[in-house]
Amino acid sequence: MTTISAVKAESYDTQVVEQAMDELLGLIGSMEHYVKPGEKVLIKPNMLEGLSPEKAVTTHPEVVRAVIKAVKAAGAVPVVGDSPAMGNTLKAAQKTGILAICQEEGIQLLPFQHAIDIPFLAGTMVRKFVLAQELKAVDKVISLGKMKTHSLTGVTGGIKNLFGFVVGPNKAQFHLRMQKRSDFAAMLVDLAQAVNPVLFIIDGIVGMEGDGPRNGTPCKGNILLAGTNGFAVDMVMAEMMGFRGDKLPVVAQALRQGLVPLRAEITVTGSAQNTSLSFREPKNMSALDTVLPKWLAAWGQQQLTAKPVIAPNCVGCRRCAEHCPPQAITLINNQASIDYARCIRCYCCQELCPHNAVNLKNGTLLNAILKLCGRK
């Protein structure tokens, strides 16, 4: 039986988080069960961008501290590492408060800068990844994700968090190669197995609803979650947020591959086991493209997914244009302009816009289908 622990934590007060973390890990066998004395353990928080913890875009520094302490108490050597979508790791760590925590706890922060080949011969989508070289220099990995919505993958919890092992600009290549959402999800399933974290922990004390992973709204969840099967952790987390966990593209793929049990076979234990929230979902169709045959996929991607639309508050900063994988964005009169014939609906522009000037808009056909399905 797969067990997920879920405990209440009502603030980011250091003691509250530490106590909750002890309880959380105790329910699944304590940290000593997963890391051994002397092992080097890489804690991978969600450090999407250098933003203050109050924005709820990144894993809160106090949750990072609590995991560092738990790893230390088990006699292992914690390090923290990531490669944010924007800017360099040190700057992002400084703004998110994670650098200060690493300094206070006397541990190393590893900026993922150089990548090496990591073969994964069992992959269904990718058989050789190019990932941060730090992965080879540590004994264990802990994914320390954030409870957030995500326009492309539905949610970003423990599994999508691992995309940070793809160093900087290489991320765009995956979006170009895997334009169908189900293909991108299959890649994440392969990635999760290649990285193979020993533990997935989620900071849901304050999560994000709506237009996640960057431009949504902070939303209190008062919860921490943990488990060894990241797909199960994400499935339970999504369900607690108010979504169908088994319909998430990544979880659905993991179910098809037999990598996660059915929800009915997953036990949730702890003081927050009955959590039921109603997070606003990202403005997008959750999984229609996953059922399209390949010959329909390109058309479906255009018609059956929401399209990014530039809002009048665009200030022409160029960030979206610089990071659009197929270079579908140009600046015209200091405003971003999208060539929809080239747009692959990866939503990087919406994710990265610092002014929340990219909205997702459903087309007429998508709205009609949503209406038919009773979702509008």
User: Residue-wise over 297-320: b if at least 16 C-beta within 10 A, else e?
Assistant: beebbbbbbbbbebeeebeeeebb
360 binds ligand SF4 (CB under 6 A): no
Q: Give min distance, CB of 371 to ligand SF4, in A.
A: 24
355 binds ligand SF4 (CB under 6 A): yes
366 binds ligand SF4 (CB under 6 A): no
116 binds ligand SF4 (CB under 6 A): no
Q: Give min distance, CB of 173 to ligand SF4, in A.
A: 13
Among the candidate windows 52-60, 65-73, 216-224, 335-343, which touches ligand SF4 by CB under 6 A? 335-343
Q: Give min distance, CB of 352 to ligand SF4, in A.
A: 6
By CB atoms closer than 10 A (0-12, 13-18, 19+), residue 293 is exposed
349 binds ligand SF4 (CB under 6 A): yes
Residue type, 92: A
Among the candidate windows 74-82, 157-165, 225-233, 343-351, which touches ligand SF4 by CB under 6 A? 343-351
347 binds ligand SF4 (CB under 6 A): yes
Helix 249-256 vs helix 181-195: crossing angle, to nearest 10: 70
By CB atoms closer than 10 A (0-12, 13-18, 19+), residue 103 is exposed
Tokens, residue 332: 């015209």
CB atoms closer than 10 angstroms to residue 334: 10
Query: Which of 86, 92, 99, 358 touches ligand SF4 (CB under 6 A)?
Result: 358
277 binds ligand SF4 (CB under 6 A): no
224 binds ligand SF4 (CB under 6 A): no
**CA-to-CA distance for 275 and 259, rounded, in angstroms?**
25
295-334 mask for ligand SF4 (x: CB under 6 A)?
-------------x-x---xxxxxxx---xxx-xx-----
Q: Give min distance, CB of 137 to ligand SF4, in A.
A: 33
Among the candidate windows 121-129, 130-138, 142-150, 348-356, which touches ligand SF4 by CB under 6 A? 348-356
294 binds ligand SF4 (CB under 6 A): no
**CA-to-CA distance for 234 and 155, rounded, in angstroms?**
8
Cis peptide before 213 (omega within 30 of 0): yes
Helix, strand, coil percentages in the chain from 3-state DSSP, rounded to 5: 40, 25, 40
336 binds ligand SF4 (CB under 6 A): yes
Cα 337-339-341 angle, rounded to 5 deg: 165
346 binds ligand SF4 (CB under 6 A): yes
214 binds ligand SF4 (CB under 6 A): no
Q: What is the DSSP letter of 145?
A: E
Helix 89-96 vs helix 98-105: crossing angle, to nearest 10: 90
Q: Give min distance, CB of 42 to ligand SF4, in A.
A: 29
Choose among 219, 79, 209: nearest CA to 154.
209
Query: Tokens 């929800």, residue?
Result: 263
Q: Give min distance, CB of 213 to ligand SF4, in A.
A: 14
Nearer to ligand SF4, 204 or 300 (CB): 300
Q: Give min distance, CB of 177 to ligand SF4, in A.
A: 13
177 binds ligand SF4 (CB under 6 A): no
CB 163 within 8 A of CB 19: no
208 binds ligand SF4 (CB under 6 A): no
Nearer to ligand SF4, 48 or 346 (CB): 346
Nearer to ligand SF4, 76 or 338 (CB): 338
CB 184 within 8 A of CB 125: no
188 binds ligand SF4 (CB under 6 A): no
Query: Tokens 């390109």, residue?
Result: 298
283 binds ligand SF4 (CB under 6 A): no
Q: Give min distance, CB of 50 to ligand SF4, in A.
A: 15
**CA-to-CA distance for 81 and 132, rounded, in angstroms?**
10
Which residues are at the interface with ligand SF4 (CB under 6 A)? 308, 310, 314-320, 324-326, 328-329, 336, 338, 343-349, 353, 355, 357-358
